[in-house]
Amino acid sequence: MGEVQGQGYIAQALDIADVLAVAYFHAMTYRPEDPHWEGRDRFLLSNGHYAIALYAALIEAGIIPEDELETYGADGSRLPMSGMAAYTPGMEMSGGSLGLGMSIAVGMALGLKRKTSGNRVYVLFSDGELDEGSVWEAVMSAAHYGLDNLIAVVDVNNQQADGPSTEMMGFEPLVDKMEAFGWFTQRVDGNDIDAVRDAFDAAKARNAGKPSIIIADTLMGKGVPFLEAREKNHFIRVEEHEWQLALSALDQGRTA
């Protein structure tokens, strides 16, 4: 998809791919042929610019046909560059404006509770969104309502548009803060599949009236050395000759 456009939020897609793989192929309940099935778990992409990563998961899951991949970012495509719920099957919210996903997730989780549904709400958001006050209001609300059907994942890649996230607005010690707000909190290497799987399992096993959060420390451009080494990776252009180098690096990593 990135090659179609020659640019995009590619480094974020690579850093969060392992989390999405575990979410869609280990943790979540859904029907690929029926994205609106009432009995599904909901996955909210608060950081809508990560849509390229979620599209890959939706294609692998069979929710979106693979032949739509080439339409990414084109006029009339169901795969716009930022996630839009009105266009894309399996996209539960439009995430162009950052800082809203946690609030929407709280509303959905509370609604499912009141319906006595056993389904869960998963929400992925970026460390840059911790700058938003609405996120912390939602964090407080989720604990107040005892939403143990809510599992949040924050992607801590320490990069946002203007520089390192921790320099834009310091948010550490994040584990201590989330625990103080009343959340079951785990911090893992977000690029370690086994660690991510175990964290999801532990979050799902919790039924003690607490929401759960997985703090996932990730590396931008994971798996492609020349992207990992770039100082600024928020929105990148990959030169034509670099695509094959990137694909070769990912293939080598998969077979290593």
- The predicted pLDDT at position 50 comes to 92
Mean pLDDT (the chain) is 92
Answer whether residue 225 shows pLDDT above 90: no
Q: Which amino acid is at 214?
A: I
| H or E element, residue 125 | strand 121-126
- The predicted pLDDT at position 254 comes to 67
Look up the pTM and report it: 0.93
Give residue 208's pLDDT band: very low, low, confident or very high (50, 70, 90): confident
- The predicted pLDDT at position 241 comes to 83
Measured at the CA of 85, the angle between CA 45 and CA 155, to 5 degrees, comes to: 10
Answer whether residue 255 shows pLDDT above 70: no
- The predicted pLDDT at position 121 comes to 98
- The predicted pLDDT at position 42 comes to 98
Give residue 214's pLDDT band: very low, low, confident or very high (50, 70, 90): very high
- The predicted pLDDT at position 40 comes to 98
Collapse the DSSP code of 167 into the 3-class scheme (helix H, G, I; strand E, B; otherwise coil) and give the result.
helix
Give residue 228's pLDDT band: very low, low, confident or very high (50, 70, 90): confident
Rounded average pLDDT over 39-62: 96
- The predicted pLDDT at position 41 comes to 98
Give me the residue label for tokens 């897609």: 13
Give me the residue label for tokens 């799902």: 204
Domains of the chain: 2-255 (3.40.50.970)
Cα 91 vs. chain centroid, distance in angstroms? 12
Residue pair 50/124 in contact (Cβ under 8 Å)? The answer is: yes
- For residue 103, report the phi and psi dihedrals to the nearest 5 degrees: -65, -45
Residue pair 230/12 in contact (Cβ under 8 Å)? The answer is: no
Rounded average pLDDT over 69-79: 91
Q: What is the dihedral of CA 237, 156, 52, 202, to 10 degrees?
A: 160
Give residue 246's pLDDT band: very low, low, confident or very high (50, 70, 90): confident
Rounded average pLDDT over 190-210: 94
Which is more confident, 110 or 72? Answer: 110
Collapse the DSSP code of 7 into the 3-class scheme (helix H, G, I; strand E, B; otherwise coil) and give the result.
strand
115-152 pLDDT, tens digit each: 999 999 999 999 999 999 999 999 999 999 999 999 99
Answer whether residue 243 shows pLDDT above 60: yes
Closest C-alpha to 199, from 188, 183, 210, 211: 188
Lowest-confidence segment of 3-12, 45-54, 63-72 by average pLDDT: 3-12
Exposed, middle or buried by CB within 10 Å (0-12, 13-18, 19+), for 3?
A: middle
Taking the CA atoms of 166, 168, 173 and 176 in sequence, report the sign of the dihedral they define: negative
> CA-CA distance, 159 to 220, in Å (whole number)?
8
Query: Other CB atoms closer than 10 Å to residue 174's CB: what's the count?
Result: 18
Residue pair 157/15 in contact (Cβ under 8 Å)? The answer is: yes
